[in-house]
Amino acid sequence: MDINLLIDQLIAFAVNEKLLPARDRAWAVNQLLDILHLSDYTPSGFSGKTPPYPCEILKNICDWAAQQGFISPDTVTMRDLFDTKLMGVFARQPSAVTDEFFALYKKSPKAATDKFYHDARALDYIRTERVAKNLAWKARTPYGSLDITINMSKPEKDPKDIAAALTVKASSYPPCLLCKENEGYAGRVNHPARQNLRLVPLDLLKDGKPWYLQYSPYVYYNEHCIFLSDRHEPMKLTRKSFERLLNFVDFLPHYFIGSNADLPIVGGSILTHDHFQGGRYVFAMEKAPVEQTFKLKKFPRVKAGIVKWPMSVIRLNGSKKDLIEAGEYILKKWRTYSDPKADILAKTGDTPHNTVTPIARRRGKAFELDIVLRNNRTTEEFPMGIFHPHAEVHHIKKENIGLIEVMGLAVLPARLAKELKALEAPLIKKDLAAIWKDESLSKHAPWAEELLKKYAFTARNTAEILRTEVGKVFARVLEYAGVYKRTPEGKAAFERFIKKL
Ligand SMILES: [Zn+2]
């Protein structure tokens, strides 16, 4: 392997993707030589076309570095640390990135995010080719086409990394993966390298305490971004949250933004650092129509309605100012609202149960706010939560239903890809016993039994039927998470709360 050629390919890639001005070439070569422990370099003369992402070039450089003993143990984690350091050479200083963002913003908000997103991918902060391994499909349900994703892109931990992590000194820096101190951090075996991460500060409330915009390294949908607090402080929904959400879609009208709920079970996976998630993607929920309108006495200009969705969603449409007020008003009312007939109790002792998952977007010139009512109470019968997927659907999904799922995108565990494939043969042979006997498949047996009553499986239709049926199970998962069921009793209970408003 000719390391000189690989260096030249990486430099050509950076120049072609406008990460590196051509006049900085010699400087960049020297930075790479340092990381590669080389003191010698002979230009290869390479000046060809380069791929849209650096994955292949980086893989070849890592192969070379592993042979030299610079990557040890030779695991995905160690390679990630090494190639991120290489790409960090092409990440400009944060202040320069921010200045460019605002210069482009003057042209258009889209121009600013286009460049910021392009660079996050070109710098391999978003590992586009790894994300492409995710399985994704759309499944038609009564609520529209839901997005189903099986996450194949998070590499499994190598035992060698787990062993290596034991020898690393315990560290609480940066405090978490969402802290802005990750920007430029070299990482360690138990914390990802972030030399290629850049954040743009946005002082949307004009209070001198900006929050930070960055992309998610996992991009579950187009331009999946994260907007995070400058401080490591827990998720907390307040009036300020609504101000931030609506100001965000005022500032970037082509993006939506939402917040996870601020209580366990109904919240996302990181409750310890206040943050939102947004992006440029239209979810099934956004397309779902309002099926019943109502008036808010206090806010006569706001259009309000209940959305046709498996979860319990109030949609508000109006001006930014009105929606901030109305959003805060509904949150406050909901926090203290109990309806024992509908199993909704605001508190157990001092422990609160009621919260919301709010999502803001633009609808033409108007602002729109979806408020999804949540309750995290558990009982002996439902120890994981009354309004959480029940045992019957755990074979597909048992994790928390956070913001992304709420909007209609299922993020399902990698094990499912293997299991769905393994289910095909016994389904075609109508061999239910084989499914029961198989340790990894038996949890799907009751589902398989139902499916066998409905379908005649063949080699041609089985994979497709399973994809459709997973979508239907996901719709049920969301129905479980809804505080008001889509039954006459549930609708009547929802109306009791609406009356309170
Ligand atoms: Zn943090």
How far is ligand 1, taken at its centre, from the CA of residue 110, in Å? 28
CA 100 to chain centre: 26
pLDDT band at 163 (very low <50, low <70, confident <90, very high): confident
> Given this model, what pLDDT does residue 27 score?
98
> Given this model, what pLDDT does residue 298 score?
96
> Given this model, what pLDDT does residue 269 score?
80
**Domain count within the chain:** 2
Q: Percent of the chain, pLDDT > 70?
A: 100
Whether 486 is in a domain gets the answer no
Look up residue 427 and give its amino acid. Answer: L
Q: HSE (CB half, 13 Å, CA atoms) of 213?
A: 27
How far is ligand 1, taken at its centre, from the CA of residue 262, in Å? 15
Give the closest residue to 229 by CA, choosing from 253, 199, 195. 199
pLDDT single digits (tens) 300-324? 999 999 999 999 999 999 999 999 9
How far is ligand 1, taken at its centre, from the CA of residue 180, in Å? 7
Contact between residue 256 and residue 390 where contact means Cβ atoms under 8 Å apart: no
Q: Percent of the chain, pLDDT > 90?
A: 93
> Given this model, what pLDDT does residue 373 score?
98
**Three-state SS sequence of 331-398:** HHHHHCCCEHHHCECCEECCEECEEEEEEEEEECCEEEEEEEEEECCCCCCCCCCCCCCCHHHCCCCC
How far is ligand 1, taken at its centre, from the CA of residue 412, in Å? 25
Look up residue 214 and give its amino acid. Answer: Q
Whether 487 is in a domain gets the answer no
> How close are the terminal C-alpha atoms of the chain, in Å?
69
pLDDT band at 205 (very low <50, low <70, confident <90, very high): very high
- pLDDT over threshold 90, residue 268: no
pLDDT band at 123 (very low <50, low <70, confident <90, very high): very high
DSSP conformational letter for 181: G
Last residue of a domain, one of 88, 109, 131: 131
Mean pLDDT of the chain: 96
Whether 248 is in a domain gets the answer no
Residue 99 token pair: 């200045």
Last residue of a domain, one of 116, 131, 146: 131
Could you give the dihedral angle defined by the CA atoms of residues 97, 98, 99 and 102, in that order, rounded to the nearest 10 degrees? Answer: 120
pLDDT band at 166 (very low <50, low <70, confident <90, very high): confident
Contact between residue 223 and residue 113 where contact means Cβ atoms under 8 Å apart: yes
DSSP state letters, 61-96: HHHHHHHHTSSSS--HHHHHHHHHHHHHTTSPPHHH
- pLDDT over threshold 90, residue 379: yes
Contact between residue 248 and residue 397 where contact means Cβ atoms under 8 Å apart: no
Q: HSE (CB half, 13 Å, CA atoms) of 211?
A: 23
Q: Is the peptide bond before 54 cis (omega within 30 degrees of 0)?
A: no
Look up residue 300 and give its amino acid. Answer: P
Tell me which residue range forms the domain holding 93: 3-131
Cβ density class 121-138: b for 16+ within 10 Å, e for less: bbbbbbbbbbbeebeeee
Q: Which of 151-165, 176-190, 321-335 has the lowest mean pLDDT?
A: 151-165
pLDDT band at 51 (very low <50, low <70, confident <90, very high): very high
How far is ligand 1, taken at its centre, from the CA of residue 175, in Å? 5
> Given this model, what pLDDT does residue 47 score?
83
CA distance 492 to 319: 29
Contact between residue 428 and residue 462 where contact means Cβ atoms under 8 Å apart: yes
Give the closest residue to 89 by CA, choosing from 42, 181, 25, 23. 25
Q: Strands 144-150 and 409-412: what pairing?
A: parallel
How far is ligand 1, taken at its centre, from the CA of residue 227, in Å? 12
CA distance 109 to 101: 9
Whether 34 is in a domain gets the answer yes
> Given this model, what pLDDT does residue 270 score?
87
CA distances from 294 to 314, 339, 363, 434 (A): 10, 20, 19, 53
How far is ligand 1, taken at its centre, from the CA of residue 141, in Å? 37
How far is ligand 1, taken at its centre, from the CA of residue 438, in Å? 42
> Given this model, what pLDDT does residue 170 score?
78
Look up residue 461 and give its amino acid. Answer: N
How far is ligand 1, taken at its centre, from the CA of residue 231, in Å? 7
Whether 286 is in a domain gets the answer no
Last residue of a domain, one of 115, 131, 147: 131
> Given this model, what pLDDT does residue 394 score?
96
- pLDDT over threshold 90, residue 202: yes
> Given this model, what pLDDT does residue 79 score?
97
- Beta-bridged to residue 304, according to DSSP, are 294, 316
How far is ligand 1, taken at its centre, from the CA of residue 217, in Å? 16
Give the closest residue to 416 by CA, choosing from 388, 433, 393, 449. 393
pLDDT single digits (tens) 422-478? 999 999 999 999 999 999 999 999 999 999 999 999 999 999 999 999 999 999 999
**Longest CA–CA separation in the chain, Å:** 78
> Given this model, what pLDDT does residue 171 score?
84
- Beta-bridged to residue 276, according to DSSP, are 227, 259
How far is ligand 1, taken at its centre, from the CA of residue 370, in Å? 26
Whether 381 is in a domain gets the answer no
Look up residue 86 and give its amino acid. Answer: L
Q: HSE (CB half, 13 Å, CA atoms) of 443?
A: 14
Element housing 410 (H / E): strand 409-412
- pLDDT over threshold 90, residue 371: yes
Contact between residue 8 and residue 43 where contact means Cβ atoms under 8 Å apart: yes
pLDDT single digits (tens) 63-73? 999 999 999 99
> Given this model, what pLDDT does residue 421 score?
97
Whether 364 is in a domain gets the answer no
How far is ligand 1, taken at its centre, from the CA of residue 257, in Å? 19
CA distance 312 to 468: 24
- What's the whole-number mean pLDDT along residues 109-127? 98
- What's the whole-number mean pLDDT along residues 288-298? 97
pLDDT band at 280 (very low <50, low <70, confident <90, very high): very high
Q: Where are the alpha helices (DSSP H) in 396-487?
A: 403-406, 415-428, 432-437, 445-454, 462-481
Residues in the chain: 501
Whether 250 is in a domain gets the answer no
How far is ligand 1, taken at its centre, from the CA of residue 171, in Å? 14
- pLDDT over threshold 90, residue 158: no
> Given this model, what pLDDT does residue 267 score?
86
How far is ligand 1, taken at its centre, from the CA of residue 451, in Å? 45
